[in-house]
C-alpha cells in the first residue's frame, strides 16, 4: 500500500513537471500564418469548446501559438552582442491601421514655386571651403567660417559713401535687416501654409489691398516722423484720418496750484452735499426719449388692433374686392368692398 502511494506521488510529480515544461513541438491541423516583422501569428484552426473550460482552452491556445511564433524567430540568423543573442527581424508584411491620419504634405514656399517654374535645381554644397587669408580649410557658415568679414579691423570707405559715416555700424545694420527680412519671409510662408492672417501694421503683404488698409498705411507712414506728422504736408484732396485717437493730457506736476486747489474744493463740495447733483439737460433728454418710446409703442399697438378688425370684417363679409353677397329677399345687399373695410359704415341712398 505504501509502495502504491509512493508511485502515485512520483507520477503526479512527473505530470506536474511535464505541465510546466511542455514540448516545443506543437502540431496543428492547419499551419499558422506568420508575420515575424510585426511578431504576429494568425491561427485559422477552429476552437472546440466541447467539455472544456473556456479560460483553460484560451490559455492553451495562446501558449501553443506563442511557442510556434518563437520557433519561427529562432529560425532567423542570430548574432551575439554584449553576450546576448540578437535576431534582426525582417520587414513586416501586414499593413497595420494608423491611429491618426497621415500628415498632409507641406505646401511649397514662394522660392520653391519660383525655382520649379524656372527649372532651378538645388545643388548640395560642401561644408568646408578653402580660406585664402588663413590658408586652411574652414567652415562655410557659422563660427570660424571662411571669409568672415566681421573680424576685419579695417574697412575701405567707398568713393560714393560719406567720409564721416561709420562703416562698421552700417555693416551691422545691414546684417540685422537681412536677418529680420529672412524671419519675416519665414513667418509669411508659415502663414500662407496654414492660411492664417499675417499680423502687422501698414501694408500687410497681400495680393490686393483694400481702401481702408491703404489709408491706414498712409496714416502710419505720416506719423512715423520725428514730429509725429505735425509738419508733414498733405496730398491734394486728402481727407482727415479717422479714428486716430486722442492724446491724453496731464496737468503739470509743478507750477500754478490754484487750479488744482479749485478742483479739490469742488470735489469736496460735491461729496459733502446731501442731495446729489442732477444734470438737467441729461434728465430732460432722458424723459423726452422715454415719452417718444411710449408714444411709439401705443401707436404700434393701436395699428395692430385696426389690423385685427380689418381681418375680421374681411373674413365675415368675404374678400374686400369683388361683388358683395346677396342678402335676403326684399333687402339690398351691401357691397363686399364696403363691408370688408368697415362693416359699421351705413350705405347711402342712390
Condensed to tens digits (0 to 9), the pLDDT of residues 196-254 reads 766 555 455 566 777 777 777 878 888 888 887 788 887 787 777 666 666 677 777 77
Residue with cell 508511485: 7
**From CA 79, how far away is CA 112, in angstroms rounded?**
47
Q: Minimal CA–CA distance to 203: which of 224, 182, 232?
A: 224
C-alpha cell at 242: 479717422
**What 3-state class would DSSP assign to 206?**
coil
Rounded distance between C-alpha atoms, residue 137 and residue 241, angstroms: 60
Assigned C-alpha cell, 266: 469742488
CB 52, CB 106: distance < 8 Å = no
pLDDT of residue 344: 52
Helix (H, G, I), strand (E, B) or coil at 282: helix
**What rounded mean pLDDT belongs to the chain?**
78
The pLDDT of 158-172, averaged and rounded, is: 89
Q: Compute the C-alpha angle 149/150/151, nearest 5°.
A: 90
Q: Which three cell numbers stand for residue 337?
A: 368692398
Do residues 255 and 261 lie in contact, with contact meaning Cβ atoms separated by under 8 Å?
A: no
Q: What is the pLDDT of residue 177?
A: 94
Interval 49-61 mean pLDDT? 84
Q: Is 240 exposed, middle or buried (0-12, 13-18, 19+ CB in 10 A)?
A: exposed
Between 134 and 275, residue with greater pLDDT: 134
Whole-angstrom CA distances from 73 to 78, 95, 147 are: 9, 20, 58
Q: How many CB atoms lie within 10 A of CB 34?
A: 19
Q: State how beta strands 136-139 and 128-131 pair.
A: antiparallel
The owner of cell 505720416 is: 222
pLDDT for 233: 82
Distance CA 146, CA 130 (A): 7
Q: Do the Cβ atoms of 193 and 106 come closer than 8 Å?
A: yes
Which triple of cell numbers denotes residue 84?
A: 546576448
Long-range contacts of 311-318 (CB under 8 A, 24+ apart): 313/339, 313/340, 313/341, 313/342, 313/343, 314/340, 316/343, 317/343
What local confidence, expressed as pLDDT, does residue 294 receive? Answer: 92
How confident is the model over 181-198, as a mean pLDDT? 83
Mean of pLDDT values over 147-156: 83
* Residue 347 grid coordinates: 350705405
- Name 86's bridge partners: 79
Query: Is 54 in contact with 43 (CB distance < 8 Å)?
Result: no
Cα separations in angstroms, 310 against 320, 321, 340, 348? 10, 13, 7, 21
Confidence of residue 305 (pLDDT cuts 50, 70, 90): low
Q: How many residues make up the chain in this entry?
A: 350
- Distance, in Å, from the CA atom of 226 to the CA atom of 281, rounded to the nearest integer, reads 44
In whole angstroms, give the CA distance from residue 73 to residue 155.
70
Banded model confidence at residue 116, pLDDT cuts 50, 70, 90: very high
Specify whether the CB–CB gap between 333 and 326 falls below 8 A: yes
Amino acid at each position: 500500500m505504501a509502495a502504491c502511494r509512493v508511485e502515485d506521488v512520483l507520477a503526479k510529480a512527473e505530470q506536474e513537471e511535464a505541465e510546466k515544461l511542455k514540448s516545443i513541438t506543437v502540431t496543428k491541423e492547419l499551419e499558422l500564418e506568420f508575420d515575424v516583422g510585426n511578431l504576429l501569428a494568425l491561427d485559422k484552426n477552429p476552437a472546440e469548446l466541447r467539455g472544456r473550460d473556456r479560460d483553460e482552452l484560451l490559455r492553451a491556445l495562446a501558449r501553443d501559438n506563442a511557442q510556434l511564433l518563437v520557433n519561427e524567430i529562432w529560425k532567423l540568423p542570430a548574432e551575439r552582442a554584449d553576450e546576448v543573442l540578437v535576431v534582426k527581424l525582417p520587414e513586416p508584411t501586414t499593413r497595420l491601421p494608423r491611429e491618426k491620419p497621415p500628415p498632409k504634405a507641406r505646401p511649397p514656399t514662394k522660392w520653391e514655386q519660383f525655382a520649379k517654374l524656372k527649372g532651378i535645381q538645388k545643388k548640395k554644397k560642401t561644408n568646408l571651403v578653402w580660406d585664402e587669408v588663413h590658408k586652411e580649410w574652414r567652415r562655410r557658415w557659422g563660427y570660424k567660417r571662411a571669409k568672415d568679414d566681421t573680424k576685419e579691423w579695417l574697412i575701405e570707405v567707398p568713393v560714393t559713401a560719406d567720409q564721416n559715416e561709420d562703416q562698421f555700424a552700417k555693416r551691422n545694420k545691414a546684417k540685422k535687416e537681412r536677418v529680420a527680412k529672412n524671419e519675416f519671409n519665414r513667418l509669411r510662408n508659415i502663414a500662407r501654409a496654414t492660411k492664417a492672417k499675417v499680423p502687422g501694421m501698414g501694408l500687410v503683404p497681400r495680393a490686393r489691398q483694400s481702401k481702408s488698409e491703404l489709408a491706414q498705411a498712409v496714416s502710419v507712414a505720416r506719423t512715423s516722423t520725428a514730429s509725429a506728422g505735425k509738419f508733414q504736408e498733405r496730398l491734394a484732396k486728402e481727407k482727415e484720418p479717422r479714428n486716430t485717437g486722442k492724446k491724453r493730457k496731464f496737468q503739470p506736476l509743478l507750477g500754478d496750484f490754484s487750479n488744482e486747489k479749485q478742483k479739490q474744493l469742488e470735489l469736496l463740495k460735491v461729496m459733502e452735499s446731501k442731495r446729489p447733483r442732477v444734470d438737467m439737460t441729461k434728465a430732460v433728454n432722458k424723459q423726452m426719449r422715454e415719452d417718444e418710446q411710449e408714444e411709439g409703442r401705443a401707436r404700434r399697438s393701436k395699428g395692430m388692433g385696426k389690423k385685427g378688425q380689418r381681418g375680421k370684417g374681411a373674413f365675415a363679409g368675404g374678400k374686400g374686392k369683388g361683388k358683395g353677397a346677396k342678402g335676403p329677399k326684399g333687402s339690398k345687399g351691401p357691397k363686399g368692398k364696403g363691408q370688408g373695410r368697415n362693416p359699421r359704415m351705413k350705405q347711402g341712398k342712390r
